[in-house]
Amino acid sequence: MKLYAPQIDNILYQLERTSRRFDRKMFDKLQGIYSLMGPVRPEGDDQVRSLWIEVPRENIEDFGDYKEFKEEGIVNSRKDFEAYWISEYPDQSKWYQFTTAEYRDKRYFYFNSQPVFTIDQSETPVEDEDHHSEYVWEFLFWLEDAIKYLIFKIKQDEDGYNEFLSDHLSYHKRKGRIGRRACWEILGDDAILLDERLGPQRIDTLRRIVDAHNQDGSWPVLKDMTAADFLRFCEICYDANDYYGESGKALSPVEKYHRMADGRDGGLLSIDPDSSREFRQWYQGGERLGAHPWEICRGGNSTHITLGVSEMNNGWSLMLDGSSVVRVEETVRMAVALHNASIPFHLREAQEIFDMVSGNDFIGIVPDTVFPRYCHSLFPEEDKIIDFMNLGYENTEEIIAAARWYPLDRISVARS
């Protein structure tokens, strides 16, 4: 059965948004597809097996009906329609990773990391209730044929098949790394040159901070801590970035914190600001649990900045954390200001931040099915990659040429 990339995408779109209970016929078909994947050597504890399926985009007629697109206001002309088709399917074919996995009684089926089917072997399927749309059956028969063909090809010449993947798999589906400065050069005027924005003096101070971290190894400690102390440290960080301009001169540290912080202070602002005893009681109590008092610049999960306080060694430590590329310039300004004010603190990922802002680190390139956040585990630890991107469709050829691409996971099958 022939299906092309636009049809596959339409079917996957429907499957990802539809929950279904399987009748016996559909249940058995999915069990059969799971069994077809059996010869593929699994990874991990959950019997994860994957195959790459290359699907042609074929002709524009397989993308859609021009008249329907025009009536719906999506395009205004046939030229628009053709441009839209090419923008959605720029290559002659599209690659999909089909994956099966098993955990306890459940078997999972994924396309490009998105779940499309789950069967629970502990449940009895509904008998004789063939309520599934025709497109689902078309998709499953197509998938069945694709798996059989690929297993046959791999058994014929496993080395040749893996070489073919290495030569032809879209770079949009691969992991790689590119030097930040090389990326800056490719982007040209669109690049955000962190070293130029910060200036050589701040970069030099940051280098001294990093060197001190690397040489000492121990965490700097403050003997006492009060709420007022913490707010003063926050103010130093805020003023380093000139968040408030001239109006900041009239704002107290508490007001500045209110404007920038997460807002869930956990009762920190309710204690005596000058009492180290009350700060310790508050810190050791349960009121701050679940709160975000240290999130001094609110943001998303990976885009906020924290100035954390921890009790240690009969004193208190400060840790500044904010390595997201969209906030790292602010973080460096804060670190330099704290250093210049002789405030003992620890900068998390200090070496990585220095390498980032000086353009000497690597950006990790992740497949287009992976959101480029928290991808550290996908890369070798020694590469020290803390910033991630998808390949995208601008400057693609230049980035592909400048990047180093990691070897693909080998696909092997057991020989019967």
Does the pTM of the predicted model rise above 0.85? Answer: yes
Residues of the chain falling short of pLDDT 70: 19-21, 128-132, 217, 416
Give the pLDDT of residue 248: 81
HEC string for 81-142:
HHHHHHHHCCCCEEEEEEEEEEECCEEEEEECCEEEEEEECCCCCECCCCCCCHHHHHHHHH
| Residue 127 to residue 134: CA distance in whole angstroms | 18
Q: How many residues does the chain have?
A: 416
CA dihedral 78, 82, 88, 92 (to 10 degrees): 150
Give the pLDDT of residue 125: 77
| Residue 217 to residue 390: CA distance in whole angstroms | 35
Give the pLDDT of residue 25: 87
Token pair for 19 = 């929950």
Give the pLDDT of residue 289: 81
Give the pLDDT of residue 107: 95
Give the pLDDT of residue 132: 62
Give the C-alpha distances (Å, rounded to integers) separating 80 from 10, 59, 73, 93. 20, 16, 11, 21
Give the pLDDT of residue 39: 96
| Residue 321 to residue 330: CA distance in whole angstroms | 11
- pLDDT per residue as tens digits for the range 277-325: 999 999 998 787 889 999 999 998 889 999 999 998 789 999 999 999 9
- pLDDT per residue as tens digits for the range 77-131: 999 999 999 999 999 999 999 999 999 999 999 999 999 999 998 887 777 665 6
| Residue 86 to residue 95: CA distance in whole angstroms | 16
β-pairing verdict for 315-321 and 346-347? parallel
